[in-house]
Structure 1
Amino acid sequence: MKNFILHLLLTVSCLICSLSFQYCYFITPLNSNEVKDNISYLSSDSFKGRLAGTLENYEAVNFIKNYFESQHLTPYKSNYLEGFNVLYPRRIAGTPYLRVLDKNGFIIKQYNYGVDYKEDMLNFKDNNISFKKADILMERGNNFQIHKDNKYFIFYNPEDDNLNFRSSFIANSSQNMYIMIKRQTAQDIKKYVDSGCEISCFIPFENKSTSIYNIIGYIKGKKPNLPPLVLSAHFDHLGTDLSGKVYSGSLDNASGTSFLLGLVKYINSLGRPDRNIIIASFNAEEFGCLGSKEFVQKYSNDLKGSKVINFDMIGSNKKIPLTIMGGKWDTKNSNFINEIANLCRKNKVDFKYTFENCSDHEYFRTYNIDAVTLSDEDMSKIHTPEDKDRYINTQSIDRCFNIVSKEIKNYAFKDNFYVLYCRNLFILSLISLLIISKLCISRSF
């Protein structure tokens, strides 16, 4: 009888060991090197900074859509592409200039684009301005606000005379145009307008209406009536300046997009989830999170009770803590924030909190939907031409995956015993197998 029980236990242990090993073997963890390859591709010069409204932004849409298809994601609401209208800064014909004209209208000084001045991308309700001293509404240090024809223009001197920073485009800004100027340029302008000269500036961009796209797919769950898990990232960036310098946006946010794509392979390898998992690649985040706003407003009823994890800047120096970013009115005691923080503590991941409405979690929180943005918040190169793929750190990508993969399993696979415990089952069954085998051998002698 004892031999029978031992052999039965041996058979069961073999079966569990075999099944759990096979399940573990076929799970495909996120490949951080593959993620980095996709970052390099999306942030290459061929995409010219992926500015919403440009041809290159549409090419990025097509790349992501094709990836969704290759991974057999189901189109959300029967279509991967979710279109919406935006204003965007369109490049037009012409050469930029900032010049000084004397009282007779003759050009007496011409400044060099990119050296003495440069556009900031905040708005182009107007793209030209000529002003004299009487038109200066406000002057603070090396910064000027111009008020002319009931329109407002800003000329400002950026920190450290750095003309490389490029702001997000905000179509509803109260100012008609923003120009960055060097300290010396500002001081020159003061002297020239004091002597009665006129300053004239032209920047060949204009605000233009166009249609752009989010790309939305999902993985079908066993219980589609449950609130979904939403995983998201924005793919747009800031385009190029007028000299052709590319704002590549490797960390911001080719990294989050590529991380999101890598997660799709991982989730598919786990099998069918308990609930739907929506994979959302948002556009126009750099225009004020307009893509996620469009999505949330359109599908808010379908998203009630869901959880949202957004990825924005994944892969900077690992010495920088992982940031758990909540909405403006969240605190570290907010349920979902605390849940992610506890995962970080349990897995010994250094982290910090930020509570700002400055990424695609914003409009989910506006609708009281649990949402966080995970970010490696390294701002040293963000929105400059220096945000390149050579600075991407795969260790930080792995660190984020370590946390996110556990949250995905806990929330979307909690009824799947094998997903949650396959490694534990394999180890325990292997140990049992060795012990029972040893007992069987000892009894045979």
Structure 2
Amino acid sequence: MSIRTTAAVLVGRAVRVAARLRGGGSAIPGAVALRIDPGFLERTIAAIPDGVVAVSGSNGKSTTTNMLAAIVRAHGLAVFTNPSGGNLPQGIASALLSEVSTSGRLKADIAVLEIDEGYGTRLAELLKPKTVLLLNIQIDQLNRYHEPDRVAAMLGRVAAASTDGLVLNREDNFLVDLDAQIPARPGRAVSFFGGLPELVLPAGHGVASADRFGEAAASPGSREAAVQVVALDGARATLAIAPVDDHRDGGANREPVEVVVKLPSRGLHYALDAAGAAAAARSVLGERFRPELVASALDALATVYGRGELLEVEGERIEIIMMKNPASLQLNLDSLESAPEQVFLAVDEGTPDPSWIYDIDFSALDHVDGITGSKAWQFAVRFGYLGIPVGSVDLDVRAALKAFLALPKPASGHKVMILNYEQMMDIRKILGFKELEGGGAS
């Protein structure tokens, strides 16, 4: 037992308790622990028997990590995960603090970890993932990532670090042939997930895959999928899962098993997240994998903060839709079944340059009741150009929220809030939801 590790765990836990009492989430506990014992994260994760499954991509990381962890648990494995979006080293370390012993030992068979794209290469070096699941490469935070090609290169290095399995989205322009772009590794099984063309092609803005310049070895949708979305009905999706009997043909010689799964909310993007989670579980578990456990695991799964979450506030249901980038906003708008009767937006400096809203199709909205946050006027101007009425703009978040909550209950449906990550966390706290969230966002 290392005295330094024990000190890191005890001090980190104390900081974590203080953060919880403050009513918020923080990566500070993990940062403190790593400052005391820089090898804490790497050493603890390396001791997990079945290793690490790393989940990354532009959008859907938190949701898919949550799904995958639940599916693997349903198969009887003890799972360590970072389900709240703590996808940087300090965020993962913060998640560890509540589960390790004071000697730094973790009771887990496998780790299922969301990792940030920007830190992916470094985290892959630290975590040495056996399996990597990549969800998508979409237009993201331009201030961090610049062009999608840069993200593709970063995630290519993460993919190359996988030893046992690589699971890719065949509907994504960059991922459909990523296996051909990275060095081959003996023993690594490559598999894909996707959706029926009848579901993908009619989608209003497709799957929001970023444009790719130059030739590709394969076109989106052309690779054989181990798991495929074959039907979508509101917040329910049907997945066709190829049997696991021979990695050489992916079970193609036998009929797929169809299971109906519950999604966090409406939308093809959530269905593809579920397909990705099922495909990764299939890759990791091999002959132990049971398709029926995918359905039971997802049926019992709680929604991750802000990702299609429904909150009960003073007898009213409020749907929280988080937007991180153009793709997440567009896909969530596309998934609305009708224009919400009451809708509220809050965007602050967590979205440094919201000029991308001029590329968004807002036709799913016929009005906005209120806008707040430091970027409120940028959105109000955009809606003005579009002729979408805005009830009020108030930079005082608490006052704007109070006014929105004071509106009578909608005649049908429920109130909808569209928030960026930072406003989502702040407004949840204001509403009394003070669960701890790790450091990082998806």
TM-score range, shorter chain: under 0.3
Q: Provide TM-score, normalisation by structure 1.
A: 0.24
Query: Which one scores higher on RCO, CA 8 angstroms, separation ≥ 6?
Result: 1
* Rg (Cα) greater in structure: 1
Normalised to the residue count of structure 2, the TM-score between the two structures is: 0.24
Q: Which has the higher strand share?
A: 1
